[in-house]
Amino acid sequence: MRTRPLKVALLGCGVVGSEVARIMTTHADDLAARIGAPVELAGVAVRRPSKVRAGIDPALVTTDATALVKRGDIDVVVEVIGGIEPARTLITTAFEHGASVVSANKALLAQDGAALHAAAQDHDADLYYEAAVAGAIPLIRPLRESLAGDKVNRVLGIVNGTTNFILDKMDSTGAGYQEALDEATALGYAEADPTADVEGFDAAAKAAILAGIAFHTRVRLDDVYREGMTEVTAADFASARAMGCTIKLLAICERAADGGSVTARVHPAMIPLSHPLASVRGAYNAVFVESDAAGQLMFYGPGAGGAPTASAVLGDLVAVCRNKLSGATGPGDSAYARLPVSSMGEVVTRYHISLDVADKPGVLAQVATVFAEHGVSIDTVRQQGRQDGGGDASLVVVTHRASDASLTGTVEALRNLDTVRGVASIMRVEGE
């Protein structure tokens, strides 16, 4: 074993960073044995140097992250600050000064992955980011390496623990969205401002990263259709149960049936209770991958939290250190396929639509005609008259597979029917 240590700079020492530092210290011997050389924590950049950090030598702590990544003796920079800047500049500077980078920064990777990969390649450096998607769950490496000889057709995942906790709570207790969110906040599963989670921004960043890797194609954050889950109601869960489903916020990356294009999207969807993703509880994450040869795979585990995220960071750290020792770099960016990314309108899936309609003869025929005119084939219709003898009824339509554009056209036309009082909900049905 080499005795001269590899030097690691840690940018950020919050929930994840402090776990990375702790494990680097307590498991130093194991890491050295697995890498083939000791690793040394050579500097820790923080915003508040006065904060006491157990187990970290105060002499290593600095507020000058830029100077740390410019030192020139750093082998690997671990970036767990999050956000776009200063993370982006620090990572680029690290490459310029000979370091490889391990990052957990999904927002940055989703937005600037291509430029960062190019910078890494220019400097023969590694850029690893297993922790950026689904926390501890090995996903980037399996997609990029284990499935490197296969053709991935679909990635279907629960990649946000906060929203899964909320939806699971709504499902199991009948709670409404706000009540479930309040509980998630009280338990620390949701942040004070939950927007990034509940509006699907976090999941969309992960979808962009996953789609890019799965399809060897550049998928930008703007390419990802995004719909949050704040409008999912207890009534939606009742509807889902009536058809043997539950509701999950899914990130879905798909290759079109003809193979010529891909899509990426995040939205709530009904999935059958028999689907492995349906039983993913609480704040857990799980990602379902379908490929030509392997068939259906699923990866399950904790999608967030200090220790799980640190586990993913350290796995990357070991890999990057090994690469440093052998003078090689790992598999970098792969976007050779250059498939066009289609818009949401071209996505083909099934829909569950609840309509409030007038309770009189001929309504179903009118509604069915609108679906037919837009080329959307109906699978089942359930009609429920109101018990109070009033003039309204509810009509639940589940369609066969249709394009999102056709469905949107259908819904617009339905809204123009005199007999349709309103469209109570539209939800996609996935995983069948």
Residues in binding site for NADPH: 106
- Neighbouring C-beta atoms of residue 427, cutoff 10 Å: 23
Which residue in this structure is represented by tokens 């056209």?
409
Q: Quickly list H helices, 187-343.
A: 195-198, 201-215, 234-242, 306-326
The yes or no reply on residue 142 touching a second copy (CB under 8 A) is yes
Q: Give residues with Cβ within 8 angstroms of 173, minimum separation 6.
A: 180
Q: Which of 113, 308 has the CB closer to a second copy?
A: 308
Distance of closest approach, residue 207 Cβ to a second copy, in angstroms:
20
Binding-site residues for L-homoserine, in ranges, read: 191
Q: Candidates 129-137, 179-187, 366-374, 381-389 — which segment interacts with a second copy by CB under 8 A?
A: 129-137
The residues with which 380 forms a beta bridge, in sequence order, are: 398
Catalytic residue among 7, 169, 206, 248: 206
CA distance 280 to 292: 25
Closest separation between CB of residue 149 and a second copy, Å?
2
Exposure string over 374-394, b if 16+ CB within 10 A, otherwise e: bebebeebeeeeeeeeeeebb
* Token output for 249: 């916020």
What torsion do the CA atoms of 316, 322, 327, 332 make, to the nearest 10 degrees? -20
Nearer to a second copy, 200 or 308 (CB): 308
Shortest distance, CB of residue 320 to a second copy, whole angstroms?
A: 11
CA distance 369 to 378: 10
324 tagged catalytic? no
Of 63, 66, 89, 146, the one binding a second copy by CB under 8 A: 146
Partners of 392 in the β-ladder: 358
- How many angstroms separate the CA atoms of 2 and 186, rounded? 48
Among 187, 235, 238, 337, binds a second copy (CB under 8 A): 337
Q: Which is nearer to a second copy, 60 or 297 (CB)?
A: 297
Closest by Cα among 132, 190, 148 to 166: 190
17 binds a second copy (CB under 8 A): no
Whichever of 6 and 312 has its CB closer to a second copy, that residue is 312
| CA dist., res. 267 & res. 288, Å (int) | 16
x/- track of binding to a second copy for residues 47-86 (CB under 8 A): ----------------------------------------
Dihedral sign computed on CA atoms, order 224, 225, 231, 234: negative
Residues of each annotated binding site? 11-18, 106, 191
**Residues binding a second copy: number (CB under 8 A):** 58
**Binding to a second copy by residue 164, rule CB under 8 A?**
no
> Does 3 sit near a second copy (CB under 8 A)?
no
The answer to whether the CB of 395 falls within 8 A of the CB of 357 is: yes
Q: Which amino acid is at 383?
A: Q
Does the protein bind a second copy through residue 318 (CB under 8 A)?
yes
Instruction: Specify binding-site residues for NADP(+).
Output: 11-18
Q: How far apart are alpha carbons 294 and 24 in whole angstroms?
A: 35
Rule CB under 8 A: is residue 389 a binding residue for a second copy?
A: no
Residue whose CB is less far from a second copy, 33 or 84: 33
Instruction: Name which of residues 274 to 303 contact a second copy (CB under 8 A).
Output: 276, 279, 291-302
Of residues 291 and 399, the one with the C-beta less far from a second copy: 291
Which stretch in 63-71, 249-257, 260-268, 322-330 sits in contact with a second copy by CB under 8 A? Answer: 322-330
For residue 113, what are the CA distances in angstroms to 102, 116, 187, 320, 334? 13, 5, 33, 18, 11
Catalytic positions, written as ranges: 206
Q: Could you list the residues that contact a second copy (CB under 8 A)?
A: 19, 23, 27, 30-31, 33-34, 130, 136-138, 141-142, 145-151, 216, 276, 279, 291-302, 305, 307-308, 310-319, 322-323, 326-329, 331, 334, 336-337
